[in-house]
Structure 1
Amino acid sequence: MTALPDDYWLLSITRQPEQMTAEEYEALPEDISKMIEVVDGYVVFCESPTREHQTAGRRLANLLERHAREAMRRGRDCLEVNLDVDLRISDVPLCNRRPDVILYRCLDRENKERLRAEHALLVVEIVAAGSETRDATDKLGEYAKAGIPHYWVVRLDLSGVSTIERYRLDRGAMLYKHLDTLMKEEAGGPPEISNPVPMTIDWAELEY
């Protein structure tokens, strides 16, 4: 497949003639690659998230990072948290996702190590209008098949994060098992969880 000019991806992103290779993806300008995901070699256009979506992602990343650093102080191996970054699921066929939030083992920056599924401990997807099937079904299967231990599906209300559906990988079946659904309205104090790192979900931290 011959590399296509930049404006092709802006004007004809839904008319891709052939599967994209990893080499072709990596040759794209960053301002183009950050607008797309690639599934089985085919480009999927990513709409710009709303302000509320972005804020919720930042709040979740801050919460995860704070608890990840605490876990590291207690002896856990190096962990990093990031938002909207390339996650390589597979090279052939190319599958590249951009999770809303991801917790992963630290990469070798000196050697420019690529973020791959085997580095990820937790992927978080925030459900937006039109993304229910993609986040709750398609990615649920993709991330499980890739062996990512934990997956959260997050939903919002008018004030911020309202529910967190938590899934954990069953490595025997390579499928996610639903652990629980944390709900802001539930009585009692902030929920405490132990995986992928110990943390307390303070709903106030997740408000807009």
Structure 2
Amino acid sequence: MTAEPIKAAQQWPVPPKDGYTVDDLFTLPELPPHTELIDGSLVFVSPQRDFHSTMIDLLVTGLRRTVPPELKVRREMTVILDQRNGPEPDASVLRADAITGPGCTRYHAADVLLAVEVISPDSEARDRDAKPRKYAAAGIPNFWLADMAGTDQHPVVRVYELDPLSKTYALTGIHHDRLKTGVPFTIDIDITLDALREL
């Protein structure tokens, strides 16, 4: 009788002394999909809630309905903020000329006009605090934060605009039923619970 071979334990990459860089994010072998780089640390994605997935779909569909031709909407793509930060907003609006082809894996903050985060329980602190601060510091002019509210857990989207002097976001609206704004282009999205349930 021969013994079954013992499977080797998962080998996690050992971080460099000064942390990872965006170059590492795209060259390390076998990283899980949608891995982000925050302050030189790799952040792995946990399983999504249904709300997270469908809310992204609702917002992306609504944005694509009215996006002008010089802009494009993308979901869950890496945005390079600096050498130690490559987060993956749930949705982004960017300049169309930043898309270099179907093999494009990342965009630069200078090409992004809007970053959107939909809160998940495992990433709530990053979505509410770390990411908006980093997006603002990188000069992304608009930021949206989507979450559930009330006892019926209906969608709510908070809309922020960048103050270019302080490099911080200022809240410009809280939307519960319709997300209607004029920046970065004319947007009118039904974000009711019924609209979400239709997806």
Pairwise TM-score range, normalised by the shorter structure: 0.7 to 0.9
Structure 2 partner of 1:203: 191
Q: How does 1:176-187 map onto structure 2 within 5 Å?
A: 176-184=169-177
Structure 2 partner of 1:172: 165
Q: Which moved more, 1:198-207 or 1:144-153?
A: 198-207
Q: Are residues 1:56 and 2:55 paired?
A: yes
1:197–1:57 distance in 2 versus 1, CA, 3 Å? same
Shift, 1:144, TM fit:
0.4
Q: How does 1:1-208 map onto structure 2 within 5 Å?
A: 11-12=11-12, 16-18=15-17, 19-29=19-29, 32=31, 34-68=33-67, 71-72=68-69, 78-91=70-83, 94-106=84-96, 107-109=98-100, 114-156=106-148, 162-184=155-177, 190=178, 192-204=180-192, 206-208=195-197
Larger Rg: 2
1:166–1:20 distance in 2 versus 1, CA, 3 Å? same
1:159–1:59 distance in 2 versus 1, CA, 3 Å? farther
Shift, 1:105, TM fit:
0.6
CA distance in 2, matches of 1:90, 1:122: 17
CA distance in 2, matches of 1:191, 1:52: 17
Shift, 1:24, TM fit:
2.3
Residues 121-180 of structure 1: CA deviation (Å, up to 9, x unaligned): 111100111333211111111110010000001013697752110110000111101111
The number of aligned residues is 185
Shift, 1:113, TM fit:
8.4
CA distance in 2, matches of 1:166, 1:95: 23
One-letter identity of the residue aligned with 2:161: R
Contact 1:56 1:206 in 2 (8 A): no
One-letter identity of the residue aligned with 2:89: P
1:171–1:38 distance in 2 versus 1, CA, 3 Å? same
CA distance in 1, matches of 2:133, 2:168: 7
One-letter identity of the residue aligned with 1:131: S
Partner of 2:134: helix, strand, or coil?
helix
Shift, 1:191, TM fit:
5.0
CA distance in 1, matches of 2:105, 2:156: 34
Q: How high is the sequence identity, in percent, across the aligned residues?
A: 24
Contact 1:161 1:206 in 2 (8 A): no
For the aligned residue pairs, the C-alpha RMSD in angstroms reads 2.7
Q: TM-score, normalised by structure 1?
A: 0.77
1:102–1:117 distance in 2 versus 1, CA, 3 Å? same
One-letter identity of the residue aligned with 2:100: R
Structure 2 partner of 1:3: none
CA distance in 2, matches of 1:23, 1:39: 13
Q: Which runs of 5+ in 2 are unaligned?
A: 1-7
